[in-house]
């Protein structure tokens, strides 16, 4: 789990680290280039918001709106010393408002952008920053200095710019942001967490020139990358089994050379299994088979072809070389004891323990697969021809009694199939 979470957020953290390395260099640029850098977040925010709208990612759009609103106020009202009352109150307000909006966005559910709840969420962000801007524009925001709590007047640490109130807000708001990331484990939540960390760094070291331009840009770029990662996930990764899908297989086939082997795998009696236990259990079977196939060795790669059918690809191997790894997988799946959960779920732990003690052998079943194997040869024009031949071999395995592998070219010595004593529904 830790590796999965680290892999999700690592690209965004590397992006933030890169911006930290660029910061000293950016301050040495000419005034014209610094002006260009200071304007960069606006077009990037527009593009990210447009992508969020196009791909129906409301959290992305809300975050882009939140970051651009805060950055707009920073550029208009905080390009001066914080010793001035107007600037101090504005900075203190942004330091609380920015993480607060991020926490709310993290717990939002995708309910559409222009639904009533979506419009309310957009209006909340716009209204809060617009109110701050109007108060600053008419010079009245500095009048609230005497009304600020002491925690917003005293800086938490002398070397940092965050007040105690802002530090507490960031700490409290960090909880829903990191919980959303660890629970949902999506690229969007990883980008939100990176944006949160970026905002904390930006406001803590606010005296650094161009820090707001660079770190807001980095946050927005991380959001854009998350959209592309989500799109790739949806297009190339099967949602149910979490292994590469058919589109990823087509891309892989386009890169293979003249020597490879394909294995078409099909779950035996899968329809009967669904009819007996229900589609929820059928989904569990698909996940189990996919997980086992995904552990293939020998340089192979597993893909979900569609329905209950999977494909194994072995680049650089012929049928004889790939067969031992395929047979190992087939036997692993056939010997795996799959427990069928009782549909009448217990209401408490005591009932659950009683049901577990009463579990009988009929609740443990064996899932089996049939496999057809074909290598690329000169008489097969392309990968589709190889797949067709592998499919024919797969049907031959079905006719030969299932739970076996059939090759097109290589003819191994027949082995007696050892069947388990568990009930065979699939």
Longest CA–CA span in the chain (Å) reads: 91
Contact indicator for 263, 322 with CB cutoff of 8 Å: yes
User: Closest Cα partner for 185 from 230, 232, 245?
Assistant: 230
**What pLDDT score does 421 carry?**
47
Mean pLDDT of 73-80: 90
Residue of 19 and 417 predicted with greater confidence: 19
Higher pLDDT, 380 or 364: 380
The whole-angstrom separation of Cα 21 and Cα 169 is 28
pLDDT of residue 323: 95
> What does the block give as tokens for 91?
């900075």
Indicate if the pLDDT at residue 62 is higher than 70: yes
Label the pairing between strands 369-375 and 405-407: parallel
% of residues, the chain, pLDDT over 70 = 87
* Tokens encoding 249: 């297989």
Predicted confidence at residue 371, as pLDDT, reads 96
Beta bridge partners of 369: 267
pLDDT surpasses 50 at 359: no
Would you state the structure tokens that stand for residue 103, as one six-digit string?
């926490």
Q: What is the pLDDT of residue 360?
A: 47
> What pLDDT does 345 receive?
45
pLDDT digits (tens, 9 = 90+) for 1-16: 666 677 788 888 888 8
Q: Give 423 or 117, the one with higher predicted confidence.
A: 117
pLDDT of residue 159: 62
pLDDT digit string, tens, across residues 233-265: 888 999 899 999 999 999 999 888 889 999 999
Q: Which of 383, 359, 377 is nearest to 303 (CA)?
A: 383
Read off the pTM. Answer: 0.74
For the chain, the average pLDDT equals: 86
Q: Judge whether 323 and 407 are in contact, CB under 8 Å.
A: yes
Q: What pLDDT does 67 receive? A: 97
Q: Which residue has the higher pLDDT, 157 or 19?
A: 19
What pLDDT is attached to residue 111? 74
Q: What's the pLDDT tens digit per position in 172-198? A: 999 999 999 999 989 999 999 999 999
Residue predicted with more confidence, 343 or 316:
316
Read off the pLDDT band of 46 (50, 70, 90).
very high
pLDDT band at 86; cut points 50, 70, 90? confident
Beta bridge mates, 373: 263, 407
Q: Is pLDDT above 60 for 407?
A: yes
**pLDDT tens-place string over residues 93-115:** 999 999 999 999 999 887 777 78
Express each pLDDT in 268-302 by its tens digit: 989 888 888 888 888 999 999 999 999 999 999 99
Q: In this predicted model, what pLDDT tens digit does every residue of 328-353 receive, in sequence order? A: 999 999 999 887 765 554 445 555 45
| Confidence at 56, pLDDT banded by 50, 70, 90 | confident
Q: How sure is the predictor about 361, in pLDDT bands with cuts at 50, 70 and 90?
A: very low
Which token pair is 305?
A: 């072809």
Span 202-223, pLDDT tens digits: 999 998 999 999 999 999 999 9
3-state secondary structure the chain: CHHHHHHHHHHHHHHHHHHHHHHHHHCCCCHHHHHHHHHCHHHHHHHHHHHHHHCCCHHHHHHHHHHHHHHHHHHHHCCCCCCCHHHHHHHHHHHHHHHHHHHHHHHCCCCCCCCHHHHHHHHHHHHHHHHHHHHHHCCCHHHHHHHCCHHHHCECCCCCCCEHHHHHHHHHHHHHHHHHHHHHCCHHHHHHHHHHHHHHHHHHCCCCCCHHHHHHHHHHHHHHHHHHHHHHHHHHECCCCCCECHHHHHHHHHHCCCCEEEEEEEECCHHHHHHHHCHHHHHHHHHHHHHHHCCCCCCCEEEEEECCEEEEEEECCCHHHHHHHHHHHHHHHHCCEEECCCCCCCCCHHHHHHHHHCCCHHHEEECCEEEEEEECCCCCCCHHHHHHHHHHHHHHHHHCCCCCEEECCCCCCCCCCCCCCCEECC
Within 10 A of 381 (CB to CB), how many other CB atoms are there?
9
% of the chain residues with pLDDT over 90: 57
Residues 6 or more apart whose CB falls under 8 angstroms from that of 299 comprise 314, 315, 316, 317
């Amino acid at each position: 789990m830790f590796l999965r979470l680290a892999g999700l957020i690592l690209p965004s953290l590397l992006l933030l680290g890169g911006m930290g390395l660029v910061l000293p260099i950016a301050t040495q640029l000419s005034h014209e280039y610094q002006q260009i850098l200071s304007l960069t977040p606006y077009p990037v925010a527009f593009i990210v918001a447009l992508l969020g709208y196009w791909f129906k990612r409301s959290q992305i759009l809300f975050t882009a709106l939140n970051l651009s609103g805060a950055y707009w106020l920073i550029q208009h009202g905080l390009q001066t010393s914080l010793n001035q009352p107007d600037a101090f109150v504005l900075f203190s307000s942004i330091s609380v408002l920015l993480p607060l909006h991020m926490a709310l966005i993290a717990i939002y559910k995708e309910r559409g952008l222009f639904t009533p709840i979506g419009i309310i969420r957009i209006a909340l962000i716009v209204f809060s920053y617009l109110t701050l801007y109007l108060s600053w524009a008419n010079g009245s925001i500095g009048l609230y200095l005497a009304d600020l709590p002491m925690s917003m007047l005293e800086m938490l640490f002398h070397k940092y710019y965050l007040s105690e109130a802002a530090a507490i807000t960031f700490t409290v708001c960090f909880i829903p942001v990191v919980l959303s990331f660890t629970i949902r484990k999506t690229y969007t939540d990883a980008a939100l967490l990176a944006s949160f960390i970026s905002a904390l760094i930006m406001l803590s070291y606010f005296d650094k020139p161009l820090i707001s331009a660079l770190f807001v840009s980095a946050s927005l770029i991380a959001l854009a990358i998350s959209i592309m990662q989500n799109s790739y996930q949806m297009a190339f990764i099967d949602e149910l089994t979490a292994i590469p899908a058919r589109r990823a297989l087509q891309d892989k086939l386009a890169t293979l050379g003249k020597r490879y082997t394909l294995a078409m795998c099909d779950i035996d009696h899968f329809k009967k299994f669904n009819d007996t236990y229900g589609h929820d259990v059928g989904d569990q079977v698909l996940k189990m088979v996919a997980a086992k196939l995904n552990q293939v060795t020998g340089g192979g790669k597993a893909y979900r072809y569609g329905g209950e059918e999977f494909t194994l690809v072995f680049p650089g191997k012929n049928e004889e070389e790939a067969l031992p790894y395929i047979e190992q997988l087939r036997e692993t799946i056939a010997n795996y004891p799959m427990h069928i959960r009782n549909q009448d779920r217990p209401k408490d732990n005591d009932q659950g323990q009683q049901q577990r003690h009463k579990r009988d052998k009929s609740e443990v079943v064996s899932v089996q697969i049939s496999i057809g194997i074909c290598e690329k040869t000169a008489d097969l024009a392309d990968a589709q021809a190889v797949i067709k031949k592998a499919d024919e071999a797969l049907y031959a395995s079905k006719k030969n009694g299932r739970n076996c592998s059939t090759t097109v070219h290589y003819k191994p010595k027949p082995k007696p199939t050892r069947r388990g004593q568990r009930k065979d529904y699939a």
